[in-house]
Amino acid sequence: MKTRIPVLLAIAFAGVISMSSCVKKYTCHCSIVYSGYPALPDSSYTEYEIKDSKSNAKSKCSSQSGTFDNNGIHTEEKCKLN
């Protein structure tokens, strides 16, 4: 009975560590370039945190990339996970 408690605690500790190690904080960096009209900003830069597994965070970040047109303003956004 005395060895059962430490073994159960070790198993529980290993389970908690293995489950929490997959989810981490990642930073998605996005550069935004505007064109189409004079006096638009040349470019801007944003970043935000994603708390997920690395593969999910990478796909969430890259899904923010794209090219958009709105009323003659062309916006190109490129995002990557660092």
| Residue 1 burial (10 A CB sphere; 0-12, 13-18, 19+) | exposed
Confidence (pLDDT) at 6: 78
Residue 60 has a CB neighbour count (10 Å cut-off) of: 16
| pLDDT tops 90 at residue 5 | no
For residue 55 the two structure tokens come to 């593969």
pLDDT class of 1 with cuts at 50, 70, 90: low
Q: Do the Cβ atoms of 82 and 51 come closer than 8 Å? A: no
First vs last C-alpha separation in the chain: 49
Asked whether residue 7 is domain-assigned, the answer is: no
Asked whether residue 44 is domain-assigned, the answer is: yes
- For the chain, the domain total comes to 1
Asked whether residue 12 is domain-assigned, the answer is: no
For residue 63, give its domain range. 23-81
Asked whether residue 30 is domain-assigned, the answer is: yes
CA–CA separation, 35 and 73 (whole Å): 6
Asked whether residue 63 is domain-assigned, the answer is: yes
- Region 6-13: what's the mean pLDDT? 79
| pLDDT tops 80 at residue 14 | no
Summarize pLDDT for 27-77 with one digit per residue, the tens.
999 999 999 888 888 899 999 999 998 889 999 999 999 999 999 999 999
Asked whether residue 16 is domain-assigned, the answer is: no
